[in-house]
């Protein structure tokens, strides 16, 4: 499927054809997005929201056009609910500073899940330490699914925020976020969803989910690094304090008083990564043209095929066996450390991630120091899954 759009997939590594299965860490970029970046640099670049000259208008129009593409992609009500950040991590930190520091106080509680990436743990811990806030964690079962009954029990009058991942980066578990958001709202608790692993792989409708915040990154969905999105309901963004101060986020400045700009500009201090934002817009066009439904179906086919094949290897244990999973296959090979697995697969041209995936609590839950993780994108093929399996067999040959 559109494999020819991705020049990097033709690469040879260690004398072997590259098999890129590290898409959950970062996806590859199609020529269409690369071309859009080049076109911007060659014909449209200037600073935005400033000059009255031709190029500044061109750049501003393209940048704001990208914001509108993101709005449509998420089905947000208004484009002013879309804040450009440098990634999911910054988006979450923005909410921690802008919302958490302003509205949460000592004795309050934040609910997180045991599946979170460090990016959705550490900012809240920093806030907890600063304010004297308690963090409570939703536990999971042996398949890596959150325990919904335990989740419901965590709420009380002090609960002030639920910060939850849509899809687990380490295990692939797809959480029933819509139901969990509805439950939190019944308890009057706002919800932030970490969508870094969800937005690239299936349709996200923030109005349907009714989440108060949704964060994701451009580079995991065929876009550039250095750009991400914070969606926030306008009523929340309006009452939040700015995250950083500087140019573009103000209406007027004197040494006595500064008047902040309206949303979303209040949160976009300084010159943003203009090219990256426009590149993200192009990536959204690219994915939308293929269709998120088509992408989801293709990735499910790859995951099912890989799971079936890997299950047949008696020395491999799959970690993360939720009923609803994104195209992530975390596994360990009996008696072989994941880093040795990763090195041997690499010499076969197969690129996977090994380590704790910035989700150490998940590793602790499954009593492993690390796992090997293959993650698929729509441009991967069944033949590549076969190469992965052959490379795993080679590991066993060396260590067995």
Partner 1 sequence: MSEMRALYQEVILDHNKKPRNWGAIDGANRHAEGHNPLCGDHVKLTMNVAEGKIESIAFEGVGCAICKASASMMTGAVKGKPVEEADLLVEEFRGMATGSLDPEQSHLGRLKVFAGVRDLPSRVKCAILPWHTLHAALHSEESVSTEGASDPVPGE
Catalytic residues: 358
Place of tokens 């969803």: 193
Which residue number, 60 or 89, has a Cβ lying nearer to partner 1?
89
Q: Is residue 347 within the footprint of partner 1 (CB under 8 A)?
A: yes
CA distance 201 to 308: 21
- Are 76 and 233 in contact by the 8 Å Cβ rule? The answer is no
Q: Is 125 in the site for partner 1 (CB under 8 A)?
A: no
DSSP classification of residue 120: G
Dihedral sign for Cα atoms in the order 306, 311, 317, 318: positive
In this structure, what is the dihedral angle of CA atoms 148, 152, 153, 157, given to the nearest 10 degrees?
160
What is the per-residue burial (b if ≥16 Cβ within 10 Å, else e) of 130-161? Answer: eeebeebbbebeeebbbeeeebeebbeeebbb
Contact flag: residue 53 with partner 1 (CB under 8 A): no
d(CA 393, CA 315): 10
Per CB under 8 A, the segment of 31-39, 173-181, 195-203, 352-360 that binds partner 1 is: 352-360
Binding mask 299-338 for partner 1 (x = CB under 8 A): -------------------------------------xxx
The closest of 216, 188, 220, 161 to 23, measured between CA atoms, is 220
Smallest separation, CB 244 to partner 1 (Å) = 25
Strand 159-165, strand 258-260: pairing: unpaired
- Is 356 a binding residue for partner 1 by CB under 8 A? The answer is yes
Q: How far apart are CA 294 and CA 70, in angstroms?
A: 19
Task: Tell me if 350 contacts partner 1 by CB under 8 A.
Answer: no
Count the site residues for partner 1 by CB under 8 A: 17
CA distances from 121 to 39, 58, 98, 135 (A): 39, 39, 17, 9
Cα separation of 206 and 26, whole Å?
A: 23
* From candidates 142, 339, 382, 393, binder to partner 1 by CB under 8 A: 339
**Least distance in Å: CB of 396 to partner 1?**
12
Q: How far is the CB of 221 from partner 1 (least distance, A)?
A: 23
Residue 87 makes contact with partner 1 by CB under 8 A: no
Q: What are phi and psi of 177, to 5 degrees?
A: -65, -35
Strand-pair category, 353-355 with 228-232: unpaired
Determine the Cα–Cα distance for residues 230 and 156; give it in Å rounded to an integer: 27
User: Does residue 23 sit in helix, strand or coil?
Assistant: coil
Nearer to partner 1, 29 or 345 (CB): 345
Q: How far is the CB of 30 from partner 1 (least distance, A)?
A: 27
- Which one of the spans 167-175, 240-248, 314-322, 349-357 is the region binding partner 1 (CB under 8 A)? 349-357
Question: Does 89 engage in binding with partner 1 (CB under 8 A)?
Answer: no
369 binds partner 1 (CB under 8 A): yes
| Residue 351: both structure tokens together | 């690129």
Q: Does 340 bind partner 1 (CB under 8 A)?
A: yes
CB of 58 or CB of 390, closer to partner 1:
390
Q: Which is nearer to partner 1, 168 or 371 (CB)?
A: 371
Nearest distance from C-beta of residue 336 to partner 1, angstroms: 7
To partner 1, the closest distance from the beta carbon of 398 in angstroms equals: 5
Should residue 221 be labelled a site residue for partner 1 when binding is judged by CB under 8 A?
Answer: no
24 binds partner 1 (CB under 8 A): no
Rg for the chain, CA atoms, rounded? 22
Which of residues 264, 273, 349, 355 is near partner 1 by CB under 8 A? Answer: 355
Among 106-114, 140-148, 323-331, 339-347, the segment contacting partner 1 (CB under 8 A): 339-347
370 scored as a contact of partner 1 (CB under 8 A):
yes
Cβ atoms 246, 55 nearer than 8 A: no
Instruction: State in angstroms the smallest separation of the CB of 344 from partner 1.
Output: 6
Footprint of partner 1 on this chain (CB under 8 A)?
14, 336-340, 343-344, 347, 354-356, 363, 369-370, 398-399
């Amino acid at each position: 499927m559109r494999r020819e759009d991705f020049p990097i997939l033709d690469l040879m590594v260690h004398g072997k054809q590259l098999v890129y299965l590290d898409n959950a860490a970062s996806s590859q970029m199609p020529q269409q997005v690369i071309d859009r970046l080049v076109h911007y640099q060659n014909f449209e670049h200037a600073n935005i929201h400033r000059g009255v000259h031709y190029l500044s208008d061109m750049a501003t129009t393209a940048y704001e056009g990208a914001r509108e593409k993101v709005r449509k992609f998420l089905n947000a009500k208004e484009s002013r609910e879309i804040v450009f950040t440098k990634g999911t991590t910054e988006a979450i930190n923005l909410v921690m500073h802008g919302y958490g520091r302003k509205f949460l106080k000592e004795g309050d509680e934040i609910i997180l899940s045991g599946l979170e990436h460090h990016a959705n743990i550490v900012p809240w811990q920093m806030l907890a330490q600063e304010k004297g806030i308690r963090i409570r964690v939703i536990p999971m079962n042996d398949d890596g699914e959150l325990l919904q009954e335990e989740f419901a029990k965590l709420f009380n009058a002090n609960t002030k925020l639920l910060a939850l991942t849509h899809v687990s980066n380490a295990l692939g578990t797809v959480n029933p976020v819509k139901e969990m958001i509805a439950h939190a709202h019944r308890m009057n608790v706002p919800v932030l969803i970490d969508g870094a692993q969800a937005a690239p792989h299936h349709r996200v409708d923030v109005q349907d989910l009714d989440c108060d915040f949704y964060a994701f990154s451009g580079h995991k969905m065929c876009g550039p690094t250095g750009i991400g999105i914070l969606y926030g309901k306008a009523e929340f963004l309006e009452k939040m304090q700015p995250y950083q101060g500087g140019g573009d986020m103000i209406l007027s400045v004197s040494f006595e008083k500064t008047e902040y700009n309206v949303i979303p500009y209040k949160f976009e201090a300084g010159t943003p990564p203009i090219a990256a934002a426009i590149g993200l817009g192009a990536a959204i066009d690219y994915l939308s043209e293929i269709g998120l439904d088509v992408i989801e179906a293709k990735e499910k086919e790859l995951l099912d095929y890989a799971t079936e094949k890997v299950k047949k290897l008696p020395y491999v244990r799959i970690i993360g066996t939720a009923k609803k999973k994104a195209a992530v296959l975390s596994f360990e090979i009996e008696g072989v450390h994941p880093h040795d697995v990763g090195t041997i697969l690499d010499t076969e041209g197969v690129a996977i991630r090994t380590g704790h995936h910035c989700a150490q609590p998940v590793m602790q839950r499954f009593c492993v120091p690390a796992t090997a993780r293959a993650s698929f994108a729509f441009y991967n093929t069944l033949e590549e899954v076969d190469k992965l399996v052959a490379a795993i067999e080679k590991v066993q040959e060396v260590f067995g």
